[in-house]
A = this chain, B = another copy of it.
Amino acid sequence: MLDNISYFIRRALRNMRQWPVLCSAAILTMAVALATMATFFLVVINIQGLATSWSEEVQVVAYFQYPPAGNQLAPLIRKVEAFADVKQAIYITKTEALKRFEARLGDDAGLLEGVSRDLLPASLEISLKSGSHNREGVARVVAELKKDSRFDDLRFGQEWLERFENFVDLLKFVGLVLGSFFLLAALFIVSNTIKLTLYARRDELEIMALVGATKRFIQIPFLLEGALQGLASGVCALGFLTLAYKLLLQKSLQTFWLTPVGFDPIFLNGNQQLILVLCGILLGSLGSLVSLRKFVRL
């Protein structure tokens, strides 16, 4: 058995050495396909990462009709923070509110000069727990707050939230469609390349069968070869991706988002890198297998 395995590996390696053109063609084709897919994946997870960091900003603002008295404030905050969806509630005084409004107006802040310091109401800024950054979570919190008559007005950017959620859904959908398209294209190209490789070597397959080799005996070295080529292509793709990311993508992503919150571009983590290489191996062996079934008829 061990003898057999070493024989198969030797034959796979010998094949690859003997047909450097075919071998490198298959490897590079797979590497290109894998790198393309991984690039798309990177873009999608980065957008999603950004989306998550954006959605962390989702909060409900409750305006007071009259600023609460000093001793009423603490129990109120405790009460609000006890809601299932709420992470934290922060009190914003009138002065602070105006300061923020000025900051938000930016260039236009000068326009507020001379306006009464009382202009804006005091409020409670309520941030939500990570599971509740969506329409339902906001709705539940708003419903609870409405029961309290001390709140004059509630702001929660309903419209913005909906639009944002639609956008993320769309993004996922586009990513899925493009992703499957590329996966299919990659599989197709790879299995074609391997089919051509095998086609160019059909005499070999025929003669092996004629001298009494079993189907498995014929197929295993080719499968191994496919797997090895897949491994090589996975490593190539990973190397290419790392380089591209370091030199190009990282910077471009950072600028692209013009990110308001501190968001670091994400690269593939250890597991995902492993998966990429495994995908290569799978692609190579599957491609070989599919094509072999066509060529090794006994």
Contact = CB atoms under 8 A, between A and B. Distances in A.
Contacts of A155: 107
A167 B248 contact: no
A258 B163 contact: yes
Interface residues of A, number: 41
Contacts of A170: 252, 255-256
Contacts of A166: 255
A195 interface: yes
A217 interface: no
A167 B107 contact: no
B196 A22 contact: yes
A185 B255 contact: no
A298 interface: no
Interface stretch (A136-144, A186-194, A260-268, A279-287): A186-194
Interface string A34-63: 001000000000000000000000000000
Interface stretch (A25-33, A68-76, A83-91): A25-33
B199 A22 contact: yes
Interface string A1-45: 000000000000000000001100100110010001000000000
Interface string A92-122: 0000000001000001101100010001100
Contacts of A108: 101
Contacts of A248: 174, 177
Contacts of A177: 248
Contacts of A167: 255-256, 258
A239 interface: no
A115 B107 contact: no
Contacts of A188: 28-29, 32
A197 interface: yes
A29 B196 contact: no
Contacts of A28: 188, 192
B189 A32 contact: yes
A185 B204 CA distance: 30
Nearest to A197: B196
A207 interface: no
Residue of A32, A108, A248 with most partner-chain B CB within 10 A: A32
A148 B9 CA distance: 84
Contact of A189 (B107, B189, B255, B258): B189
A200 B200 CA distance: 4
A243 B157 CA distance: 36
29 contacts: A21-B195, A22-B199, A25-B195, A28-B188, A29-B188, A29-B189, A29-B192, A32-B188, A32-B189, A36-B182, A36-B185, A101-B108, A101-B111, A107-B155, A110-B153, A111-B119, A115-B119, A163-B258, A166-B255, A167-B255, A167-B258, A170-B255, A170-B256, A174-B248, A174-B252, A177-B248, A196-B197, A196-B200, A200-B200
